[in-house]
Chain A
Amino acid sequence: MSSLIIKNLHANVNDVEILKGVNLEVKEGETLCLLGPNGHGKSTLLAVIMGNPHYEVTEGEIYFDGKDVLAMSPDQRSQAGIFLAMQYPAEIPGLNSADFYKAALNSRREKPMTLFQFYSTLQNAYQKMDIPFEMSKRNLNEGFSGGEKKRNEILQMELLQPSIAMLDEIDSGLDVDAMNIVAESIKRAQQRGAGLLVISHYARLLDMIKPTKTAVLINGRIAVEGGPELYEKVDKQGYEWIKAELGINVEKEVDAPMNRVSIGACATRVGIENNDKK
């Protein structure tokens, strides 16, 4: 049985520790809703599971299907069945969406798909997500609205059929119709037995997809775990009660240093220097 097991995970970004010993498990067919105040490490956890090189794992283990995930590159993790729908999907200039999807689909097959197979798969996915098929000719996420990008992420989940899908605030920027379409897609993933790890700040989506478990991430650790009743409580009462009931002091948003960015400066080499230091 596929299960994702996280043990005592510690991770840094720019030498600041964000995850301080996370323990968590998501089994096949389970939907875990991950909650927590902003800046306490939810997105970091998902990014680390997917293998984002921006984060440095300093301690702990991640297993999926018994395999050591931390020893795998991001593409190997994807091919093993892990998927991350990102909060801010990248816009890739000049890269045709359909070309990319073809490469992504073929990366997990021994024999590449025939053109006919590929187009029927692609058309089917666009139909399910109610996205005009013409969008497949556009550059990947380039000039897409926030909602279009989110739907495009779920489109890729439909294409790649992962065994565990992690969705980082997939419901932000979606209108009601799009929310329903995304929820339907998530339900299909649940029905085929996929595990889901969902970050959301709103009960609306959660009510539709009915999480089986809830975990609250505070100060870089899982503060409390429970069933669906826990997300309902957080939705109504926020996080204040945690201090009183569990004696955990909710730290202010962790102030992680941002990436150095130069705005409006021409012909600078900030990007290169930063990379050289790493």
Chain B
Amino acid sequence: MTRSEKNYSLYVDALPETLTLDVPAGETYRLNIAAFEKLKEKINIVVNVHQDARFLGAFADFTDKPVSFYLTVNLLEDGSECDWHLSCLSKGRGKKYFETSVNHLALHTNALMSNYGIAKDESKMTFTGVSSIEQGAHKAKTRQEAKIIVFDPQADGICSPDLKISDNDVVATHAAVIGRLNQDHLFYLESRGLSEKDAKRLIALGYLKPVEDYFTDKEVIAKMDRVIEEGF
């Protein structure tokens, strides 16, 4: 089967407050969102995925702006898929809230919701969302990942990925980690000569950069590189 692929690479300036995407049967839609300076305070995205279609979403939020972000992906028909990656850096006193939910409504549906963040300064970050598998959605596979590094003493993070499962022939996993920088990781890097600052920086880059793999626009990737490097 050949699939057509549509790319929506958006700087956030072009991102409306509400966005509804319909991914037609058999197609792949890629949504790349990169926010560097501006960000709307409230963003609501709904994606409906039809038969054997794929939604590939990636959001890099490196602004110091507060945001409440809601994503709901409906896997409406058999064989539909969703792959979502968020990489987020909060600074200053910013509050960021991300709710990423997926509804499995048909057979053989597949979803990964992956959210990674670093909370610096006095910022607060929340990752939440429900992966729900409705009755009759046999063979559904779903995973929710939420990981936050609390970088500074005054920063805070909350992770609560939820699973709601109403069918018994499914695979569902979730992972949540909140913590300060891993002391063993820091010591390992420092013991090879890196200063504490450089070691922290490299660990943070390793956390935020992998989202770049999901972006297609080379210029955007280069800008992300710069912003991440400058942030630490």
Contact = CB atoms under 8 A, between A and B. Distances in A.
Interface of A: 50-54, 73-75, 77-79, 83-84, 86, 89-90, 92-96, 99-100, 103-104, 107-108, 139, 156, 160, 266-269, 271-272, 275
A268 B148 CA distance: 12
B190 A267 contact: no
A98 B207 CA distance: 17
B180 interface: yes
Contacts, number: 104
Interface string B175-195: 110111011110111111111
A100 B191 contact: no
Which interface residue of B194, B196, B208, B209 has the most chain A CB atoms within 10 A?
A: B194
Interface stretch (B54-62, B88-96, B198-206): B198-206
B159 interface: yes
A268 B179 CA distance: 9
B158 A50 contact: no
B161 interface: yes
Contact of B183 (A53, A92, A100, A108): A53
Contacts of A275: 180
A73, A107, A267 — most chain B CB neighbours (10 Å) = A267
Interface size class of B (residues with CB under 8 A): 35 or more
B108 interface: no
Interface in B113-154: 146, 150
A108 B188 CA distance: 16
B16 interface: no
A133 B201 CA distance: 25
Contacts of A104: 192-194
Contacts of A107: 192-195, 198
B110 to A, nearest CB: 22
B166 to A, nearest CB: 20
B174 interface: yes
B205 A54 contact: no
A208 to B, nearest CB: 25
Contacts of A79: 193
Contacts of B190: 51, 73-75, 78
A104 B208 CA distance: 21
Contacts of A160: 192-193
